[in-house]
Amino acid sequence: MVIKSDLIWPAVLAVILGACGNPGTAPADNSVPQPEDGTNQVLSTIMDRRSIRRYKDTPVDRNLLDTIVRCGINAPSAMNKQPWQVRVVDSKEFIDGITSIYVAADSSVAADPEFKNMFRNAPAVIFIASPTDGSGQLDCGLLGENMILAAHSLGLGTCCLGGPVRFIKSSPEAAPYVDRLDIPEGYELLYAIAVGYPDETPDPRPRETDRVMFVD
């Protein structure tokens, strides 16, 4: 399935830390106020999400991948231009094939006995492309944020990946795989998102709450 509908991933916003604290202060941890019955699923999804770097071999159903991508393309974009191209890859042949090129270029990566593919061993990858003039990068960040939150809400893990995309773009041997993504002229790969069932439960990492201020 090809869905046509872009890191500057750090440019995407961070999660809503501080916005839920008392005026003039930021929360001391990752907790956020909840309704009395604790049912605010949006806040829970945002605050519980972690980047996953180990995945089970279990394939991800395409209906779930479709839901994730549809959540992505419902992200806000300037003047509703939707400046992205999205490609979903769950083909083991594709993933293993491009991984073999990656390993040939740097055999040390395969020294890890748990190494299976260049996308953190995930069984599915979502590639995001943006206009080559850089105009869509912020919007594509919002697109990706929607997708990783949607995936988490469905019991899936994700990890935003820049390194594999840089390799793919710079490696002549990878060109046939880029061609298969059928990215239109005027767009280029920006980043990718690994998707799969988590095989780890990372602890939360500290957040720099002192970088959040309320201005009177």
Find out whether 166 and 16 touch, Cβ atoms under 8 Å: no
User: What is the per-residue pLDDT for 187?
Assistant: 98
For residue 176, name the pLDDT band (cuts at 50, 70, 90).
Answer: very high
Q: How far apart are CA 180 and CA 191, in angstroms?
A: 16
Q: Is residue 29 part of a domain?
A: no
Q: Is residue 1 part of a domain?
A: no
User: What is the per-residue pLDDT for 28?
Assistant: 44
Residue 196 has pLDDT above 90, yes or no: yes
Q: Which residue from 8, 1, 2 is spatially nearest to 143, judged by alpha carbons?
A: 8
Q: Is residue 31 part of a domain?
A: no
Q: Is residue 152 part of a domain?
A: yes
Q: Is residue 160 part of a domain?
A: yes
Across 127-145, average pLDDT: 98
CATH assignment of the domain containing 87: 3.40.109.10
pTM: 0.83
Return the beta strands (E) in 44-100 as ranges: 85-89
User: What is the per-residue pLDDT for 39?
Assistant: 78
Average pLDDT taken over every residue of the chain: 87
105-120 pLDDT, tens digit each: 999 998 999 999 999 9
The radius of gyration computed from the CA coordinates of the chain, to the nearest angstrom, equals 18
Q: What strands lie across the sheet with 187-196, from one edge to the other?
A: 85-89, 124-131, 187-196, 157-161
User: What is the per-residue pLDDT for 34?
Assistant: 67
Identity of the residue numbered 153: S
